[in-house]
């Protein structure tokens, strides 16, 4: 407990801010039905009602309550991004560790495949894949996860390679331990710090990608509240000097900035405060 208190005390203000914001988002996302005054697809009034007593942040192009949709959006958008990151991360980490541990042919094939995927901007490949597969949440999650796993693969492979040449790994191999044991007991514990930081970075990246795609009209299907699509649907209001459409975009930005602040601090700590 004292170590935790000390850790919190030595945190820079940006990291504290980041952590607090992340916790708030998680609470709102988990208990969206408690906070939201209305349902996400519920039409409660006229189009584009102004901010006021009845509708705190007004209504959208279809007359749905903006505040409620923002709250539901936290659950939907963050949920989809988290699921995608988790898939991308497991896929990339497992493939990267296997490539490092097995080497040879497996490593060659996986690495070349990743090289090819990384030779093209991810957004372009995502658009290509979505036009072939058709839109839909599942396709969106799988495509973004697969393309993003390439970055995790690179990092996992590179860090695991460094550990694989250590004496204790050789000792384990000579003892006759299997690949699985070596990966889980020797390699993974030693590369967990960079991998955890990478998870945060990947989350930011995936979150922004998915928001961008839903802004482009390729995100979650319509009745669901989704921050990127909410910006697109209400963008016309901006030309009338109303900033409501910027709110969902700001929700996206505040979360990614917070996560980045926390990661920045973690990386700084992991690098032994070199700078």
Binding footprint of other proteins on the chain (CB under 8 A)? 14, 115-116, 119-125, 127-134, 204, 208, 211-212, 215-218, 228, 231, 235, 238-241, 243, 245-246, 249-250, 252-253, 256-257, 259-261, 264, 275
Closer to other proteins at the Cβ: 62 or 116? 116
> What one-character DSSP code corresponds to residue 49?
P
Rounded to a whole number of angstroms, the minimum distance from the CB of residue 238 to other proteins is 5
Rounded to a whole number of angstroms, the minimum distance from the CB of residue 59 to other proteins is 19
List beta partners, residue 43: 64
> What one-character DSSP code corresponds to residue 50?
P
SS3 135: coil
The CA distance from 100 to 24, in Å, is: 38
**b/e per residue, 88-119, with b = 16+ CB within 10 A?**
bbebbbebbbbbbbeeeeebeebbeebeebee
Closer to other proteins at the Cβ: 43 or 129? 129
Rounded to a whole number of angstroms, the minimum distance from the CB of residue 47 to other proteins is 20
Cα end-to-end span (Å), the chain: 29
Closer to other proteins at the Cβ: 44 or 257? 257
Tell me the helix, strand and coil percentages in the chain, rounded to 5.
75, 0, 25
Closer to other proteins at the Cβ: 190 or 256? 256
Rounded to a whole number of angstroms, the minimum distance from the CB of residue 275 to other proteins is 7
> What one-character DSSP code corresponds to residue 59?
B
The CA distance from 123 to 104, in Å, is: 31
Rounded to a whole number of angstroms, the minimum distance from the CB of residue 124 to other proteins is 5
Closer to other proteins at the Cβ: 2 or 271? 271
Rounded to a whole number of angstroms, the minimum distance from the CB of residue 110 to other proteins is 15
Q: Which residue has the tokens 């599942």?
A: 138
Give me the count of residues in the chain: 275
List beta partners, residue 64: 43
Closer to other proteins at the Cβ: 105 or 240? 240
């Amino acid at each position: 407990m004292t170590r935790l208190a000390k850790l919190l005390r030595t945190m820079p203000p940006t990291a504290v801010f980041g952590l607090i914001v992340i916790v708030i988002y998680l609470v709102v996302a988990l208990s969206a039905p408690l906070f939201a005054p209305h349902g996400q697809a519920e039409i409660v009034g006229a189009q584009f009602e102004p901010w006021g007593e009845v509708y705190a942040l007004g209504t959208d192009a279809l007359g749905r309550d903006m505040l409620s949709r923002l709250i539901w959006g936290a659950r939907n958008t963050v949920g989809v991004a988290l699921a995608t990151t988790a898939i991308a991360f497991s896929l990339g980490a497992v493939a990267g560790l296997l490539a490092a541990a097995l080497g040879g042919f497996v490593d060659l094939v996986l690495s070349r495949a990743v090289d090819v995927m990384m030779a093209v901007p991810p957004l372009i490949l995502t658009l290509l894949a979505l036009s072939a597969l058709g839109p839909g949440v599942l396709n969106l999650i799988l495509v973004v996860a697969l393309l993003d796993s390439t970055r995790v693969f690179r990092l996992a492979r590179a860090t695991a390679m460094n550990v694989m040449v250590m004496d204790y790994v050789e000792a384990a191999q000579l003892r006759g331990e299997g690949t699985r044991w070596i990966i889980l007991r020797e390699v993974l514990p030693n590369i967990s710090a960079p991998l955890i930081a990478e998870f945060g970075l990947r989350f930011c990246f995936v979150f922004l990608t998915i928001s961008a795609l839903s802004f482009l009209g390729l995100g979650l299907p319509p009745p669901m509240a989704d921050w990127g699509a909410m910006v697109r649907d209400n963008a016309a209001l901006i030309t009338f000097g109303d900033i409501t459409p910027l709110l969902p975009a700001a929700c996206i930005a505040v979360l990614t900035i917070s996560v980045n602040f926390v990661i920045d601090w973690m990386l700084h700590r992991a690098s032994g405060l070199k700078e």
